[in-house]
Amino acid sequence: MTEPVELDAKGLDCPMPLLKAKRALNTMAAGERLRILATDQGSMRDFRVFAEQSGNELLSSQETADGVYIHLIEKA
């Protein structure tokens, strides 16, 4: 498995992390993975709902000790 594409959306407020992730996913092939780094607390909910609605798989979401949210999505 190749390394995920990384998207740094730290410092951006809702809905920008999600919009940038959607744009990145549109350029990716099925099965590729996107890792999003965000500081917006709402991104935890946003990416869960986005995955449910889009059919992409949210593989993980976690918060680091320094307040960065890391989401890993696999494109459907």
pLDDT band at 76 (very low <50, low <70, confident <90, very high): very high
Question: What percent of the chain is predicted at pLDDT more than 90?
Answer: 97
Active-site residue, from 5, 14, 16, 70: 14
Cβ-contact 7, 37 below 8 angstroms: yes
Residues paired with residue 38 on neighbouring β-strands, in sequence order: 9, 69
The per-residue pLDDT for range 12-28, each reduced to its tens digit, is 999 999 999 999 999 99
Q: Is 14 a catalytic residue?
A: yes
The per-residue pLDDT for range 47-56, each reduced to its tens digit, is 999 999 999 9
Q: Domain residues for 28?
A: 5-74
Our count of domains for the chain comes to 1
- 47: domain CATH number is 3.30.110.40
